[in-house]
Structure formats: structure tokens, C-alpha cells
Amino acid sequence: MAKTVKKEIKEVEKKKKQKEAVTGDVSMLQKARQELIVLNLDNARKKLKNTSSIFVKRKEIARILTKMKEKELLNG
């Protein structure tokens, strides 16, 4: 009986950590997308001196999305 309670507690804690990790990833994704929008606007206004930063930001977004997908697949 005590073992099942301990297992349930561990499962709840594990799910809580997973939710926190996903929430962190979502906020990072939102921030990166917002920064990409600003970069694109600056580029359109000819204020952006380093246009490769747009490419770098897109790569960052792709990495975040990949990380989120991996977590989703691992957690089932």
C-alpha cells in the first residue's frame, strides 16, 4: 500500500516538472517569435544592419520547437 502511494507521488511530481518545463519552453518560444517580428520590422524600415540575425532567430525558434517535440514524444 505504501509503495503505491510513493509511486503515485513520484508520478505527480514528474508530471509537475514536465508541465513546468513545457511552460518555460512556450515562454521562450513566444519571446523568440516576438523578437523575430521586431527584427523583420526593423529590416523593412532599413534599420537593421545585421540581416543575418533574422536567420539566427529563425534557427533559434526551430530549436525550441524541436526540443518541445522531443519532450512530447518522450513523455507520450
Domain count, the chain: 1
Determine the straight-line distance between the first and last CA of the chain, rounded to whole angstroms: 27
Question: H helices within the chain, ranges in order?
Answer: 2-44, 52-75
- Inside any domain, residue 17: no
Domain range holding 30?
25-76
- Whole-prediction pTM: 0.72
Question: Within 10 Å of residue 32's Cβ, how many Cβ atoms?
Answer: 19
- Pick the more confident residue, 45 or 75: 45
Q: What distance in Å separates the CA atoms of residue 13 and residue 24, rounded to the nearest whole number?
A: 17
CB 25 within 8 A of CB 64: yes
- Inside any domain, residue 9: no
- Inside any domain, residue 41: yes
- Inside any domain, residue 19: no
- Inside any domain, residue 14: no
Judged against a pLDDT cut of 80, whether residue 3 lies above it is answered with no
- Pick the more confident residue, 37 or 10: 37
